[in-house]
């Protein structure tokens, strides 16, 4: 494995534990934004927001500017689910008979 691949893999592992999208969706705070929540938390932190826990239900990652593109990607992938949650659509899956 090359050094570049190893460095990229290490960065992904380190960022996944501090990903704003994962933190906000895991918090499930009533009234907190769901659509692009991680991206919004990162942007709020980069802009100097003072109360991320009260607003988003989660603490911003230590390196929010570095996390921002990864949260944007994950929030975009989760957008259909977030829209369904925001609209109150129940997404239940049932097995066979």
The distance of Cα 97 from the centroid of its chain, to the nearest Å, equals 35
Q: Is-contact 83 26, C-beta < 8 A? A: no
Report pLDDT for 76: 92
pLDDT of 64 > 80? The answer is yes
Cα torsion angle, 66, 70, 76, 82, sign = negative
Q: Is-contact 57 29, C-beta < 8 A? A: yes
Q: What is the pLDDT of residues 2-51, one digit of tens each?
A: 778 877 776 665 555 568 877 787 776 777 888 898 899 999 989 998 88
pLDDT of 1 > 80? The answer is no
pLDDT of 52 > 80? The answer is yes
pTM for this model (two decimals): 0.70
Long-range Cβ contacts of 28-31 (<8 Å, 24+ apart): 28/57, 29/56, 29/57, 29/58
């Amino acid at each position: 494995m090359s050094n570049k691949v190893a460095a990229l893999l290490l960065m992904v592992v380190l960022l996944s534990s501090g990903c704003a999208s994962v933190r906000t969706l895991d918090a499930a705070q009533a009234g907190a934004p769901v659509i692009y929540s991680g991206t919004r938390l990162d942007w709020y932190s980069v802009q100097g927001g003072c109360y991320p826990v009260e607003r988003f239900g989660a603490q911003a990652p230590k390196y929010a500017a570095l996390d921002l593109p990864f949260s944007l990607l994950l929030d975009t992938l989760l957008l259909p689910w977030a829209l369904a949650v925001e609209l109150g659509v129940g997404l239940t899956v049932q097995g066979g008979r």
